[in-house]
Amino acid sequence: MESYYKPAVHECYFCGKSEFKNHSKAKYWSEIDLNFVECKNCGLIFANPMPTLDVIIKGNDALNFVMKSRGTLSQYRGGKEFSFYLNKFKKSGILLDVGCAEGFFLKGIEDHSEWKAEGVDVIEAAIEFANTKLNIKAYFGTLESLENCDGKYDFIRMNNIIEHIQDTVSFLEKTNKILKPGGQVLCSTPNGVQDGAMLKAANRQGIILNMLENHFFYYKPKTLKKIFEYCGFRIIKSYCDGIKHSIKDFGLLPGAKIKNSYEKFNLSDYKNLTNIEFNTMGEDLDKMKSDPSMKTSKIKFNLFISRLSKLRIPSVIPIGHQQTILAEKI
């Protein structure tokens, strides 16, 4: 079991202080025990010890098989939706999507705007698909591994990525470095206050949640804002949303049990399995372009309704499953 883990750390990944308190317990793919601690100084919540990179890669490969594609039509449509947002910032520029998957989101941006869209991801099959089937410029690796791109990008999007990163400061410093002056970054990640409370609530109910994604860091909104500012960003806005399950997640709904949705998934069951779906997804691209849901009027109407119905709470009140930061390079 020890070979699954890196050595336990005695200093916080962000502030460097050495006083931790026990937070909660979980599992990763049923076979790896996770012990979450919270830094008493900055509030960062993280697994200690941390699973090794080899374990994480195996987990990502298994997740890629279980989840198949991370979206085709919805991702392509999401790219068109996001192009409206980008056009309010600038009419053209270069965007980097960190965790771009197969590239359908980026294809949606390029097909419906003057923006150039690039991506980076650690799933090699997805990157090969983006490059060869969608003609999207995508890089295999991590953001930190990108070379010769200082000051290249106008906008960087990282949707549910930063909770996977083991050196957040280096990650955000690299983000700052590859942005143009005045460039912006949009970061969405689980709200560490609410998701952390859900882990604790499950433990109180005798449940050890089994995680399929390597969410080994949980950021309280105030902690994440401090890290962004430390790395050379000015916070433009910061908010939380997704309050639908807040009462249940905080363990405040009498009799409500936290559901262990993935308890039967074991990492060893997916050894040497390969997702062949990448070979067939490209055939659906023409169908997606003509899908009725791609009509501009329908997308703008749905976005309008979504803005009316989705409550965004300033992150000083950390309620809601998801948190979002929009920040500018200074």
Q: Quote the number of domains for the chain.
A: 1
Kindly state whether residue 312 falls inside one of the protein's structural domains: yes
Kindly state whether residue 18 falls inside one of the protein's structural domains: no
Q: What is the pTM of this model?
A: 0.89
Kindly state whether residue 282 falls inside one of the protein's structural domains: no
Kindly state whether residue 196 falls inside one of the protein's structural domains: yes
Kindly state whether residue 23 falls inside one of the protein's structural domains: no
Digit-coded pLDDT (tens) for 130-177: 999 999 999 999 999 999 999 999 999 999 999 999 889 999 999 999
CATH number of 86's domain: 3.40.50.150
Residue 153 amino acid letter: Y
Kindly state whether residue 313 falls inside one of the protein's structural domains: yes
Domain with 203 in it:
71-263+289-329
Kindly state whether residue 13 falls inside one of the protein's structural domains: no
Digit-coded pLDDT (tens) for 69-120: 556 888 999 999 999 999 999 999 999 999 998 899 999 999 999 999 999 9
Kindly state whether residue 42 falls inside one of the protein's structural domains: no
